[in-house]
Amino acid sequence: MLLAVLAAACLSAASPALPAEDDGVRPANRVAVEFGLDSLERKFYRPEWYFAFPLAFDGRSRAFADLSYLQRLNGRLEGAVDFWLDAGLEHRFSDSFAAEAVLVHFCRHLTSVRNTYVLNLNELVGRAWLRSGRAWLGLGLGTYVGGSPGYDSLAVLNLRLGRLGLDELGFEAEIKWVNFEKLLYESTLSLGLAPGTEIFLRAAATYAFDPTAYLGLRFLSAGPNARHVRSFGLSAGAYPFYETHKLLVQGNYRLTFFREAGRRFLLDADFVSPILSGRSFLGEFWPDRMLYTLAAEYERAFGGVFGSWYGRYVVDQPADKDLPFRASLATGLALRNQADFNRLERPVRWEVRGGADFKFDYDLGMRFGVNTVGPKLARAGAEVRFQANSARREADGLAFLEFGNGVVVRPFVGLRKITYLAGGPPPPDPFRRKIYAGLSLYSWFD
C-alpha cells in the first residue's frame, strides 16, 4: 500500500491540480481531529489523516489513502480502538458523476486489556457517486477479502449534505448491509462554529459493537481559512531485520491558537504505533501499543529564533495485553530557529528543549537537520533526533528525498532506537534491528 501511494505521489508531481475541495467526492488533503464523550460514559478520541494524489495521466483521477482510528477510554485508559486504513482510486466523469474503487482494512484492539480475539476485516468496494449541488449520494457493492470468518458480501449507501437550511449545518451518513442480512450505520450532524471548527452529534452501530451516540468537538484542516489546524504528517517505516515489529507508524498534527505578531500558543499531538510482525509482512497489521505525546507551548520570536515554555504529556498504552498504561508529565524551555522543524525552509534547522519531568527526573530533546531548499523537483536532506528522560530513550537518524508542494512526499532510510514506558525493559537490540526505511507525507496550511 505504501508503494502504491508513493507511485501515485510521483505521478502527481507533473499533473494538473484537481479542482477545489468541494468539487471532488473526497477532500484534497486533510486532517480531522475529534474528541468528546459517548452515551456509554466514556471519553473518545478520533484523528484522521487523508491524502489524495492527482494522477499524471488524467487530471480527473486521483489515488487516495486514509488512516483513522477511534479510541474509547474509561478512567483507567482501557477500551476498544477501531482502526481503518483505506486506499483506492477515484475518477470524476463529470461534475455530477464519479466512481471509485477502495480497499478498507478494519481491525479492533483493546488497550491495557488482554484480548484473545482481534476482529479483522478487509472490505473491497466499488462505488458510484451522484452529485446535485452540495449533496452527494453514493451507492456501492463489495465483498470481504480474507480476515475474520462470517463476512462475505456487503452493500453500501452514502449520503453527504453540505448544508441543511443553514450554511454552517451539515450531515453525512453511511449505511452498510452486511451479508445482506444486518444493517450497520454511522450518521453525523455537525454545526460549524468557525472555519475548521465544528461540534457534532453522531449515532453509530459498527461491527460487533453496541449502538452508541457521540457528542464532541472536531477540528478540520479546511485549507488557508482554517483557524487552528496548521499542519499534519503521517509516516510509516519498515523494519527488514526486526523479528518483533515489522512497521513503525507515526502521525502528527499541529493546532495553533491566539496567534498574534511575534507570539502564539501551539498544541502538537503525536502518536507512535509499532506494528507486530505477525505471520507475514502482508498479513495482520496489529499494533503492539499506542504511544501518545501531547505538547503545549507558548512561543515568542526573538530576533530570528523562537523561544517557548512547554508542557509535555506522554502516555504509553499497550494493546491487547493486561498491562496498565504508564505516563509522564514534563515542563521546561525550548528554542528553535524556524517555526516548524519539519518544513525545509532553511538549509540548517535545529530545535532543543530541556526541563524537569515530574516522575522521571528530567526531560531532554534535540532535533537537527541539514537539507537543500527551494522549488526544485526534488530536495534532499538528513536529520538526527533525540529525546529522553530517566525511563525511556528515543533516537533516530535518517536521510531522505522530498518531492511535491501541496503534499510533501519523503522516502527515507535510517536508524531508529526507541524504548517504551510500559511493559518492562526491552530485549537486547542488535544494530541491524534498528535499520528502517519508508515514506513520510506532510501538508501545511498557511
Full-model pTM: 0.86
CA–CA gap between residue 330 and residue 398 (Å, rounded): 27
Give the CA distances from residue 380 to residues 347, 374, 437, in Å, rounded to whole numbers and listed in that order. Answer: 10, 11, 15
CA–CA gap between residue 211 and residue 186 (Å, rounded): 10
Spans of the chain, pLDDT less than 70: 1-27, 56-58, 165, 222-226, 279-283, 424-433
- Residue 176, Cα to own-chain centre: how many angstroms? 24
Asked if 307 and 334 touch (Cβ cutoff 8 Å), the reply is yes
Asked if 306 and 300 touch (Cβ cutoff 8 Å), the reply is yes
- Would you list the domain boundaries of the chain? 2-225, 229-444
Shortest CA distance to 244 belongs to which of 394, 419, 396? 419
- Identify the pLDDT of residue 2: 40
CA–CA gap between residue 217 and residue 153 (Å, rounded): 34
Per-position DSSP letters for 422-435, written without gaps between them: SSSPPPP--GGGGE
- Identify the pLDDT of residue 103: 96
- Identify the pLDDT of residue 330: 98
- pLDDT tens digits for range 316-337: 999 999 999 999 999 999 999 9
- Identify the pLDDT of residue 293: 96
CA–CA gap between residue 196 and residue 47 (Å, rounded): 14
Q: 2-225 adopts what CATH topology?
A: Porin (2.40.160)
- Identify the pLDDT of residue 9: 44
- pLDDT tens digits for range 209-218: 989 999 999 9
2-225 with 229-444: one CATH topology?
A: yes
Q: According to the CATH classification, is domain 229-444 in 2.40.160.40?
A: yes
- Identify the pLDDT of residue 285: 80
